[in-house]
Amino acid sequence: MLIVKLDKNTSIEKALKLYKSKVIKTRQSSELNKRKEFIKPSVKKRNVLAKAKHVQLKFYSDND
């Protein structure tokens, strides 16, 4: 839970701006997008391996 501490004379616009920046910094919205649907552990593992393969081919191949 995010907490935004305010003074008595802080406007609602400033409070919303602070809240939005905290949401972006903590990557809360990306975490919510990940949790929208259930992904099986085997599918997660397959995606991680595919990403690792892609990185290996892209950055560490000897095709120079």
The answer to whether residue 5 is domain-embedded is no
Residue 26 sits in which domain range? 12-59
Residue 21 in domain? yes
Q: In whole angstroms, how far apart are CA 1 and each of 11, 23, 24, 29, 42?
A: 21, 10, 13, 12, 30
Counting the structural domains of the chain, the total is 1
Q: Is residue 23 part of a domain?
A: yes
17 lies in a domain? Answer: yes
Percent of the chain with pLDDT over 90: 61
| 21-33 pLDDT tens trace | 999 999 888 888 8
Mean pLDDT of the chain: 90
